[in-house]
Amino acid sequence: MYLQEENANHILQPDGIGTMGVEHPVPWFPAWGVRFQTPVENVFSVVSVVNEWRPSNRWLMVAYDAVASEVHLWTAWYVLKRNEEAESMVAKTPDTEFLRLISGTHQINRSFERAGISVGDDRAWIVFLPDSEIGEEFGDFSIPVGCYNDFSEDASKLIEHLGGVLLPKRPVPSIGGLERVGFNPGRELGISEIEEGFLSHMALTDLR
């Protein structure tokens, strides 16, 4: 069984409410933070472990800072599902298409550079992409709220194979993350503005 990092301020719950009463506007996306035993030295070896032990190509690893929030993840997932159903994906597989959307680029190679793990990273996200239907209209879409709990066991196995520990934290927007995915705001931003920057950057992915 994977280890859980100690000294967390409080335990967060996937229903969107922490034990200290911190509310989150949307349910948790099925993403689990992992801290590596040592900073990444060989990206290929780490990715190979994930590819070997993941249940399907709907699982992937994303750079920790490249993820801004639950809204960011669910929005990227919705666009992925829309592209899948329209058979308009740029990438050949859902994991690579999701990484491309998160990184805000039309270029596959650049998406790995931006949102994939890099040498020196000590944290990452293990992400599962639900295969739920989204309907023909946006109003038909409802978030599959049980995914985090339903797939936590699979995530724990991946974390174990990586020799990592579970981070009891959820995504938070950061300037460093925004810059990592290729967006330089050129000024100081508040937390909500940083998240908006991530979403705007992703929205322009296929317009560049």
Answer for the pair 114, 104: CB distance below 8 angstroms, yes or no: yes
Higher pLDDT, 141 or 84: 84
**Tens digits of per-residue pLDDT, 38-94?**
999 999 999 999 999 999 999 999 999 999 999 999 999 999 999 999 999 999 999
What distance in Å separates the CA atoms of residue 28 and residue 69, rounded to the nearest whole number? 9
The model's pTM: 0.85
Structure-token pair, residue 35: 């801290």
Q: Is the C-alpha dihedral spanning 18, 24, 30, 36 positive or negative?
A: negative
The answer as to whether 15 is a domain residue is no
What is the per-residue pLDDT for 139?
Answer: 58
The answer as to whether 17 is a domain residue is no
The answer as to whether 18 is a domain residue is no
Question: How confident is residue 146, by pLDDT bands cut at 50, 70 and 90?
Answer: confident
The answer as to whether 19 is a domain residue is no
Answer for the pair 33, 166: CB distance below 8 angstroms, yes or no: yes
Partners of residue 59 on adjacent β-strands: 128
Partners of residue 127 on adjacent β-strands: 31, 60
Structure-token pair, residue 55: 């249940």
What distance in Å separates the CA atoms of residue 55 and residue 83, rounded to the nearest whole number? 22
Domain that holds residue 135: 31-207
What is the per-residue pLDDT for 184?
Answer: 87
Does 10 score more than 70 pLDDT?
no
Does 11 score more than 80 pLDDT?
no
What distance in Å separates the CA atoms of residue 70 and residue 48, rounded to the nearest whole number? 27
What is the edge-to-edge ordering of all strands in the sheet holding 165-167?
3-4, 165-167, 31-35, 123-128, 59-63
The answer as to whether 123 is a domain residue is yes
Does 99 score more than 90 pLDDT?
yes
The answer as to whether 61 is a domain residue is yes
* CATH code where residue 77 lies: 3.30.2380.10
- SS3 of 79, please? helix
The total of structural domains in the chain comes to: 1
**Tens digits of per-residue pLDDT, 161-178?**
999 999 999 999 999 999
Answer for the pair 142, 27: CB distance below 8 angstroms, yes or no: no
The answer as to whether 9 is a domain residue is no
Nearest to residue 77, comparing CAs of 154, 133, 130?
Answer: 130
The 3-class secondary structure across 87-102, one letter per residue, is: CCCCCCCHHHHHHHHH
CA distances from 173 to 2, 68, 70, 190 (A): 26, 4, 10, 9
The answer as to whether 6 is a domain residue is no
